[in-house]
Structure 1
Amino acid sequence: MLTRRRVFVKGLKVLAAIGVYDHEHGREQPLIIDAVFDLGLHEIRLLKDTLNYEKVGETARAIIARGHIKLVETLAEDLARGLLGLPYVTRIEVTIHKPEALADAEAAGVCVVMERD
C-alpha cells in the first residue's frame, strides 16, 4: 500500500542578486536549491498527474528576476509558497545553499517546510 509519495529536485544551480551587505549589491551569487515535495496519493499515469520538475527552476528564476533579494530566508519562503500552490503538492521542503556566504565553510543557507492547510 502506498503511504507517501515524494518527488525531489537536488542541486539546482541558479544565480541571484542576493545579500544584505554592501559587497553583495550589484552582483549575482550562486545558490544551490534542493526541494522535496510530498504529493497526494492519487494514481499517476501522465505528466499532468504529477509535479513537473521544471517548475522548480522556472519558479525560482521568476522570483529572482524581480530584483535584489536581501535574505536567503525570503527567497526560500517565496519559493516554497509558489511551489506549494502547484497541483497535487501537499507539503514542501526547500533548502537553499549559499556557497559563498562564509569563506571557511562549504555553504550556509536555510531550509523551510510548508504544508497546505
Structure 2
Amino acid sequence: MAHDDATIKSNILHMPYADATRSVRHVFVRDYETVARIGVWDHEKDTRQKIRISVDLSVLEGSEHHEDQLAKVVCYNDVVIGIQKILSEGHINLVETLAERIAQMTLEDVRVIGTRVKVEKLEAVDGAASVGVEIERHRHP
C-alpha cells in the first residue's frame, strides 16, 4: 500500500531557503553536470563517471544593500569553482562524502546559514535515471 509523505511525522525541520522575515536569500546551483572519479567498486576506480550536483543555500542578507556589487553577495559561480576544486583533489569513494565536502565548503562563508546538497550518479544503475544522496546542513551558532 502506498503512503502519502505529507501524513508521515518527521523530526526533520526544513528551513525555508528564502525568508523575508529573517532577511534570508536563496542562492542556488541547479543540475550542474560534470564528471568525477567516484565510487567504491573496482571498475569505478580507474574511470570518471557522469554526476549531477544541485546546491541550495540559505544566505543572510547584510544590513546594507548589495549595491549591485558582486563582492557583497554569495556568488553561485564561486560554489561551482569550489565543487571543481573538490573534484580535482582525487578519487572519492562515496557520494555521501562528496555531498558533505560540498556542504562544508559552502558553510565556510559566514553568510551561509544553511545548505542542501544533492549528488547524483547518472550511469551507476541500469534503468535508473540517477542514484545518489541529498543532505541538509546548518550553521550552528
TM-score over 0.5 (shorter chain): yes
CA offsets 1:8-60 (integer angstroms, 9 cap, x no match): 11011121100001111111011111000001032333212211111121111
- SS of the equivalent of 1:44 reads coil
Contact 1:76–1:111 (CA under 8 A) maintained in structure 2? yes
Q: What is aligned with 1:59? A: 82
Residue 37, structure 1, aligned to residue 60, structure 2? no
2:43 to 3, 17, 23: 23
- SS of the equivalent of 1:5 reads strand
Q: Distance in 1 between matches of 2:60 and 2:138?
A: 12
- SS of the equivalent of 1:12 reads strand
Q: What is aligned with 1:76? A: 99
Q: Distance in 2 between matches of 1:87 and 1:50?
A: 11
Q: Distance in 1 between matches of 2:132 and 2:73?
A: 28
TM-score (norm 1): 0.93
Query: Following TM superposition, by how much is the alpha carbon of 1:86 offset from its aligned partner in structure 2, in angstroms?
Result: 1.7
How many matched pairs? 117
Q: Which one scores higher on RCO, CA 8 angstroms, separation ≥ 6?
A: 1
Amino acid across the alignment from 1:56: V
Identity fraction in percent: 33
1:2 to 20, 25, 29: 20
> Per residue, is there more strand in 1 or in 2?
1
TM-score (norm 2): 0.78
Query: Following TM superposition, by how much is the alpha carbon of 1:87 offset from its aligned partner in structure 2, in angstroms?
Result: 4.0
Q: Distance in 2 between matches of 1:47 and 1:88?
A: 14
Q: What is aligned with 1:109? A: 132
Unaligned runs of 5+ in 2: 1-18
